[in-house]
Chains A and B, each alone.
Chain A
Amino acid sequence: DTAVSQTPKYLVTQMGNDKSIKCEQNLGHDTMYWYKQDSKKFLKIMFSYNNKELIINETVPNRFSPKSPDKAHLNLHINSLELGDSAVYFCASSQVVGAYNEQFFGPGTRLTVL
């Protein structure tokens, strides 16, 4: 069974469109995250949610809006897509919030904005 899943795996769209990426974890974890990996493989945190509550928003443009309907899901909606949004987006989860908890990652969603 997949622990952290994301859909879609690939997303190709035009500038200015709005798109969503879905993430689900079946590990029973309390905390979920979104990371962005750029073309140089640099990974950076975007958001962190604990028990459906936002706890980190790492100065991400407000065109990005995460939503957590329940502990097992964290979706990412992006408005007015720009070329610079092209990247791989990873969802992750950890048991609880804390510096000692390993995070488990989804397979990633490769977003290409044309």
Chain B
Amino acid sequence: AQKVTQAQTEISVVEKEDVTLDCVYETRDTTYYLFWYKQPPSGELVFLIRRNSFDEQNEISGRYSWNFQKSTSSFNFTITASQVVDSAVYFCAPPGNQGGKLIFGQGTELSVKP
């Protein structure tokens, strides 16, 4: 069975701090993908990135970076020099085993204070 866990329910930081959001995905599959989505207070779901399990190199996009550690099944997402506009709920979501559905984690609510 697949299980995705975002253990951090809420994180609060002050602007310009770095923050890392954790996601652990337990599966018997040897190769898999995982997606990150952002849901700002306005409510829409915004696709951020797709990562795959056979690439453990960090991926960096501006202030965002993603790190995958296969030994711990951890897909971590780091925001460098956080800004108030980063305040949102962040979801990691691996695909389910049929029909292309996504299985969403519980989400981590990030609050960045000025």
Q: Which residues of A contact B (CB under 8 A)?
A: 31, 33, 35, 41-45, 48, 50, 55-56, 58, 88, 90, 92, 94, 96-105, 107-108, 110
Tell me the interface secondary structure of chain A in the complex.
strand
Q: List the A residue with the shortest CB-CB distance to B39.
A: A41
Pair B95/A99 contact, Cβ less than 8 Å: yes
Count, chain B residues at interface, CB 8 A? 27
Q: Provide the residues of chain B in CB contact with A45, threshold 8 Å.
A: 96, 101-103
Q: Provide the residues of chain B in CB contact with A50, threshold 8 Å.
A: 99-100
Pair A107/B35 contact, Cβ less than 8 Å: no
Question: What 0/1 pattern do residues 7 to 22 of B give for CB contact below 8 A with A?
Answer: 0000000000000000
Q: Which residues of B contact A (CB under 8 A)?
A: 32-33, 35, 37, 39, 43-47, 50, 52, 89, 91, 93, 95-96, 98-104, 106-107, 109
Nearest CB of chain B from residue A59's CB, rounded to whole Å: 13
Pair A104/B43 contact, Cβ less than 8 Å: no
Q: Of A92, A97, A107, A110, which one neighbours B99 at CB under 8 angstroms?
A: A97
